[in-house]
Every structure is written in structure tokens, then in C-alpha cells.
Amino acid sequence: MKKLICSLLISMFGLSLANASSGGIAWDKFPQEKSTDVAALQNGAKTFANYCLNCHNAAFMRYNRLRDIDLTEAQIKGNLMFATEKVGDTMKVSLDPKNAKDWLGAVPPDLTLIARSRAAAQGSGADYLYTFLRTFYRDETKATGWNNLAFPNAAMPHVLWELQGQRVAKFVEEKDHHDETKVVHRFAGFEAVTKGTQSQAEFDDTIANLVAYLNWMGEPAQGTRTRLGVWVLLFLSVFTLIAWRLNAAFWKDIK
């Protein structure tokens, strides 16, 4: 009975995460070309280390794996390692989970596989993250002072607000097309409150680089796997041709 109850609770928790990640507004398309851009991945790693790795772990990722995106150990140690000294260590933060729960209300999730875990019918996990990180707005009714269009009532504040600036969301009331007795709130755009250190185009590019890195971190060997796959298919094509001709030679004298 206990196992059944635990299974049901786990299923409900999984469904709540799926609903959270698929709710809100339609997702914007992540610029897929960033996924193979080494400079974008390096920039994304820098943003991740400076803004995300303060609270979120990436406990299944080692710093030395960043050599796969053409970073040297000296660059990794000098620019990206703040909570450890060994380049072979995993990307863990020094924030104590108990303190995190007391201060933030919940332990921040591990981000190693966040891009892979957020895929839904609306798009890929990268699409969700690209939309989520770009749709924060000021909301003084929330404990953090921030809200999000892609994930309404998110507990996470806008940690990149200095780059983007502060803005508020405008909503208009209109009749529900399915029930005219009801009124719905429709998002009508953002209104800037303060300017950030980056323009909107620059901020979108920063987020695209960060999401590219998060997507890469979920499967660092993806590029190698893809390249190897091409060679395997070429080998099989040549081998098939050779096998076909050998088969014809072995059976040519048999009527």
C-alpha cells in the first residue's frame, strides 16, 4: 500500500512539473544554430557560472568537460571555478540545501539535465528555457517581486535583471470566446521601467547562448555522436555494396 501511495505521489509531482513547463504563453523558438557555435557555448558557460551556479547545482557535469568546447584548463580555473579548486570536480555550489530551503522556500533544482527535462508538446526544452528566461516582469504581489509569463508564479526571481532592465507586463480584459459571461486577462506587451546594461537584442543573444550551453550540458557528447554517426552510415553503405558484390560472386556458378 505504501509503495502504491508513493508511486501516485511521484506521478502527481511529475505531472505538476510537466504542467508548469507547458503552461503560460506559447514558447518562442530557440535559435538552433547556437547549439553548434563554440563561441556561443563558451559565452553561455560564462553566463551560467556567473549567474546560475550561485544557487543551482550541475552535479552531473565536471568542469574539465568544458574542454570539449575549446576551453583550456587555465581558462576554466581562472574564469569559471568559484566553489572548488580541482578542475575534475563536479559543478556544485557551496549553498547548503537546508539554508536554501529556509531562505528560498525550496532547494533550487539541479540544472544538468534541465533542457532535456522541459520538453513538451509546445516545443523542446531549449524553446521553453529561451522563453522562460526572457519573460520575467515586475510583480510586487509576489514574494520575490518578480513573475514570469512562461511559468506564472515561479519562485525564481529574475537574476539577470541588471542586463535586461526592469519592466512590467500589461494585460487587457476581454470577453472569453467560449463563455461571454466571463472575462479573461490577455497579455498585451511589456512596458520598460528601467534600462538594462544590454539592449533587448543583446539580451536575447545572451539568453540564447546560455540556453545553448544548458542544452549542450545535458549531453556533451552530442556533437561527437552526430559526427560519428555520419561515419558509421558511410561505412555501412560501403560495406553493403561490398557484401552485395561478394554475395553475387559466391553464387554466380549455382543455378
pLDDT in tens, 207-252: 999 999 999 999 998 888 888 999 999 999 999 999 999 998 888 8
- Phi/psi for 172 (5° steps) reads -120, 150
CA distance 99 to 96: 5
CA distance 99 to 238: 60
Mean pLDDT along residues 194-206: 97
Q: Which residues pair with 187 in a beta bridge?
A: 171
pLDDT number for residue 178: 77
CA angle 201, 19, 3 (to 5 degrees): 140
CA distance 193 to 163: 13
- Whole-angstrom CA distances from 252 to 48, 91, 117, 238 are 64, 63, 55, 21
Q: Strands 58-62 and 90-91: what pairing? A: antiparallel
- CATH for 19-248 (2.40.110.10, 2.170.120.30, 1.10.760.10, 1.10.10.10): 1.10.760.10
pLDDT higher than 50, residue 48: yes
pLDDT number for residue 19: 43
Residue labelled with grid coordinates 513573475: 147
pLDDT number for residue 8: 35
* 77-129 per-position pLDDT tens digit: 999 998 898 999 999 998 888 888 888 888 999 999 999 999 999 999 999 99
pTM for the model:
0.81
CA distance 81 to 153: 32
CA distance 111 to 86: 20
Question: pLDDT band for position 5 (50/70/90)?
Answer: very low
Q: 200 CB contacts (<8 Å, ≥6 apart)?
A: 164
pLDDT number for residue 255: 63
Grid cell locating 214: 544548458
| Segments making up each domain of the chain, as ranges | 19-248
Q: Which residues pair with 58 in a beta bridge?
A: 91
* 125-177 per-position pLDDT tens digit: 999 999 999 999 999 999 999 999 999 999 899 999 999 999 999 998 888 77
CA-closest candidate to residue 20, choices 134, 161, 114, 105: 114
pLDDT higher than 60, residue 4: no
